[in-house]
Amino acid sequence: MEPIIRIQDVSKTFLGRDNQVEALRGINLEIQRGDIYGIIGMSGAGKSTLVRCLNFLEKPTSGTVFIEDKDLSRLTDKELRRMRTEIAMIFQHFNLLMQRNVLDNICFPMEIVGVKRADAVKRARELLQIVGLEEKEKSYPSQLSGGQKQRVAIARALANNPKILLCDEATSALDPTTTKSILKLLQEINQLYGITIVIITHEMAVVQEICSHVAIIDSGELAEFGTVEEVFTRPQSPAAKKLVFMTDQRSSEMRGKHCVRIVFSENSSFEPVIANMVLECKAPVNILQADTEDIGGIAHGHMILQLPEDEQTAAHMIHYLKERKLSVEEVEANV
């Protein structure tokens, strides 16, 4: 299938007064139509620069981006502006026009493309219904809560029926409950209208909540990508491991100990695996952390175990767990 977004060898270097910063280095990535693609990384990893390359708000120093096979670097200013009407964007700080009311904020992108006022108002009211803010059309942004502002921003982003929605840390300024409701709204939009969504975030929880795919950016480079399930159950790169394990605050306690991370999936939770393992190996294990994460609607339990010092028993345990089709991997002390 033809990808809707193709990032090809994108590098971006910012020139400072007396230094230069390589924000992105040789990024290659394909995003398929209808995906909810998470791009995750620590702050400063270059993910915000990368998402701005997708609509050429930042022009890559080298490499290019194809949107539905159109090379953005070959478009004229006018063509690029037209293209941008099909790639909507929402932001961490919402970026609404403070001097316009909710309805006029949503009409703004339609004014840009020259939609008639009456039609724009009609469409804006439909959108307000979708985001659940019908009664707020006359309010000004300063009268809304963060979650409501982001809903307005989403309605505004949908105004011109975009094919792609870019979300730059769209939930980072919101509390956990509001974050969940905004993510749910994004998911509905993706399912109802088939809009491809790219989500930039530094929170693994956001990716786990709604993304189908994830790419991990580390110091300007693409560290790893794949389906969320793959990356979550078997993170390969150090950056991915760091992000996946970030949920556990006890990594310092694991230092110098023999720890493994196991992931339960699907039916494996029916068998009391750990208890049976302890009985079989006749050695205790220390459960350092256990949690259940919902990834794409399937519950994934994961657990960090401290194995006995005795190498042979430890190896036996790992073998036992692997035999039961669990994903087991050693947790390095440095993560």
Partner 1 sequence: MSSTILLDPTILKMLGQGILTTLYMTLVSTIIAYALGLPMGVLLVVTAKEGLKPNAVIYKILDIVVNVVRSIPFLILLILVIPFTRLIVGKTYGPTATIVPLILAAAPFIARMVESSLLEVDKGVIEAAQSMGASLWTIICKVMITEARTSLIVGATIAMGTILGYSAMAGAVGGGGLGDIAIQYGYYRYQTDIMLVTVVLLILMVQIMQWAGTKIAKKLDRRLR
* Torsions phi, psi for 238 (to 5 deg): -55, -40
- Residue of 107, 109, 161, 111 whose CA lies nearest to 138: 107
Q: Are 247 and 40 in contact (CB under 8 A)?
A: no
Q: Which of 210, 224, 225 minimizes the C-alpha distance to 296? A: 210
Instruction: Assess 320 for contact with partner 1 (CB under 8 A).
Output: no
- Closest distance between partner 1 and the C-beta of residue 140, in Å? 4
3-class secondary structure per residue, 169-216: CCCCCCCHHHHHHHHHHHHHHHHHHCCEEEEEECCHHHHHHHCCEEEE
Residue 112 or residue 299: which is nearer to partner 1 going by CB? 112
3-state secondary structure of 141: helix
Task: Tell me the closest approach of the beta carbon of residue 50 to partner 1, in angstroms.
Answer: 15
98 lies in the site for partner 1, by CB under 8 A: yes
Least distance (Å) between residue 197 CB and partner 1 = 15
- Beta carbons of 305 and 274 less than 8 angstroms apart: yes
- Letters for 161-190 (x = contact with partner 1 by CB under 8 A, - = none) are -----x------------------------
Q: How far is the CB of 84 from partner 1 (least distance, A)?
A: 4
Q: Per-residue string for binding with partner 1, 285-304, x by CB under 8 A?
A: --------------------
Binding mask 50-89 for partner 1 (x = CB under 8 A): -----x-x----------------------xxxxxx-xxx
- Of positions 8, 32, 64, 140, contacts partner 1 by CB under 8 A: 140
Host H or E run for residue 128: helix 117-130
| Residue number with CB closer to partner 1 (87 or 185) | 87
| Count of all residues that appear for the chain in the document | 335
Q: Residue 85 or 247: which CB sits closer to partner 1? A: 85
In SS3 terms, 246-274 reads as CCCHHHHHHCCCCEEEEEECHHHHHCCHH
Closest CB to partner 1 among residues 138, 325: 138
| Contact residues: partner 1, CB under 8 A | 55, 57, 80-85, 87-89, 91, 93, 95-101, 108-109, 111-113, 140, 142-143, 160, 166
